[in-house]
Amino acid sequence: MRIGELSRRSGVPVPTIKYYVREGVLPAGTLTSPNQARYDDGHERRLRLIRALLDVGGLSLSAIAEVLEAVDDPGQPVHKVLGVAAGRIIPEESGKPEESGETDEAEDVEAAEGAGPESADAREEVAALLARRGWYVDADNAAARSLAGVLAALHRVGHGAFVELLDVYADAAEPVARADLDYVRRRVAREDLVESVVVGTVLGEAMFGALRRLAHVDASARAYGDPEEAGRWAGA
């Protein structure tokens, strides 16, 4: 198909498709003439994945490029692809100066805050959690550092007791993680498998967050709202 048809089928404007090709996140089409290229279903599938990671997953284009590079590397173990995808949805990672436009001074302030007593306590709490749960995760993992950052922020705003909920959250996270990987195992072809890893990691994160917010609304209505109204919504 030509680029116009690819645009119609994917819903992505032609200039955007050309931009993705220039940025290396979408493979170039096969040249049929100096000014014409042919695209196939693989390009359409990749475009839909890119848009999902951008629009729903909230990844930057540079993060998507890194994830897709791992996806396209046949020598990259699936576990490593999962690590790359997980690492790119960590807020801590997206705040680098080259991506956010922060100044060196802002980076220095952030580093100073990260060296405070709250951060040291938070790192110890995360390390204790990993040991307690028996998780095969290094304490320097990007997600572990992100969790430590969250706990440090909670300490700074006077809600350090929130750490008491860590195991409650972990209890909820474990079956979700297993369900994610069960979904991945249904795939046989490597391309389908690694794409499922990326989709499950990035979009699954967004889905779980949305479900948590919905559950908050329900729990709040039941705990603090009108009992009769809550009962009607629940179909009671």
Q: What angle do CA 71, 97, 117 make, to 5 degrees?
A: 100
| Beta bridge pairs of residue 36 | 33
pTM confidence score:
0.69
* Residue 168 structure tokens: 């409650």
| Beta bridge pairs of residue 33 | 36
pLDDT of residue 88 exceeding 60: yes
Q: What pLDDT does 2 receive?
A: 93
- What are the residue ranges of CATH 1.10.1660.10 in the chain? 1-55
Nearest to 56 by CA among 193, 186, 209: 209
Rounded distance between C-alpha atoms, residue 26 and residue 18, angstroms: 9
pLDDT digits 0-9 by tens, 110-141: 444 455 788 899 999 999 999 999 999 888 88
Q: What is the CATH code for 1-55?
A: 1.10.1660.10
pLDDT digits 0-9 by tens, 11-65: 999 999 999 999 999 999 999 988 889 999 999 999 998 998 888 888 889 888 8
